[in-house]
Amino acid sequence: MTNRFRTKITDMLGCEHPILCGGMQWVSRAEFVAAVCNAGAFGFITAESFDTAEHLRAEIRKMRDLTDRPFGVNVSMVPEFGVPDRTIRFCEVICEEGVLAVETAGRSPEPLMPLFREAGVKVIHKITSVRHALKAQALGVDAVTLVGIGSGGHVGLDNVVAFVLIPQAVARLDIPVIAGGAVANGRGFLGALAMGAEAVLMGTAFFATQEAPVHPNIKQRVVQAEETDTSLIMSSIKNPIRCVNNKLVADVLAVEARGTTLAEILGLVAGGKGKLAYQSGDPDTAPIACGQVAGLIGEVKSVARLVEDIITEAGQLLDRLNRLAG
């Protein structure tokens, strides 16, 4: 496969293709992330999947036994909880182990920046608005990922689609912009680059691959979903998360409609239910983060084939555009 798309992000991260796999809790462990990196993309181990920082350290070292490609670690912070000592310890391990890059999300990475800067770790901050991207740039992050309302997982409160956010961010920022959400094929990939993005970040498309450590029943639920088969839950507590429709999502929406509390919602969605569902294969007992891009996913591919198909299709489309322009 020819590397036709060299960008600021491929140069920064040393990956073959400007395709990133966002950190997914319970899913982004060494074996899966190694498959992403060996396919020429760039993946992030998710720190929050591990009970302790030493468990994360062991996973980082396992990763180096599985690939000689560069990789990163996702550090997610819950806005209401600040930056706990556990998160700080995760970050210390990341620096001690010489990890190339971190993907930060959830709240401002400001408290972590001195630690990362001293260790030379690249910081890619994931946000949902251009105003937050500007603040992140002022903090000294190396790149930002913009995710729109159609994305899976946490989508922020602005309700703006990714393909509006990206050109706005590119016009106003000096650091590289990564397009998150709405990408699962070569069309979306090339469209994002055309708008000025230096890479794309995909979650749902990688979640539905053969190597993802998720029960086949859950993957099939995503593959079978149309673009209209997702909903936003937890909007009532100003922390909306896009998930594929299932019984649990219907239950959460019902309590939100009648009025609820943070404690009641957390009682429905928390407690490691996602991990249990991914293992058991019951698609109705947990919130399954899923973007509207599920409507573009028609089969469970290998990671390598997913990446190859995207790059091949994008190259063919680029050739077509060049012919039109000529």
Nearest to 256 by CA among 239, 273, 235: 235
- Work out whether strand 143-147 and strand 122-127 pair parallel, antiparallel, or are unpaired: parallel
The full set of domains in the chain, from first to last, is 9-214+301-325 (3.20.20.70), 216-280 (no CATH)
The pLDDT score that the predictor gives to residue 186 is: 97
pLDDT digits (tens, 9 = 90+) for 15-64: 999 999 999 999 999 999 999 999 999 999 999 999 999 999 999 999 99
pLDDT at 2: 58
**What angle do helix axes 186-194 and 162-172 make, rounded to 10 degrees?**
30
Q: Looking at residue 308, what is its pLDDT?
A: 97
51 Cβ neighbours under 8 A, 6+ residues apart = none
Q: Which residue positions in the chain have pLDDT lower than 50?
A: none
Residue 254 has a CB neighbour count (10 Å cut-off) of: 11
* pLDDT the model gives residue 297: 97
Q: Can you give the pLDDT at residue 262? A: 86
Q: How far apart are CA 16 and CA 197, in angstroms?
A: 16
* Strand arrangement of the beta sheet that strand 153-154 belongs to: 153-154, 241-244, 230-233
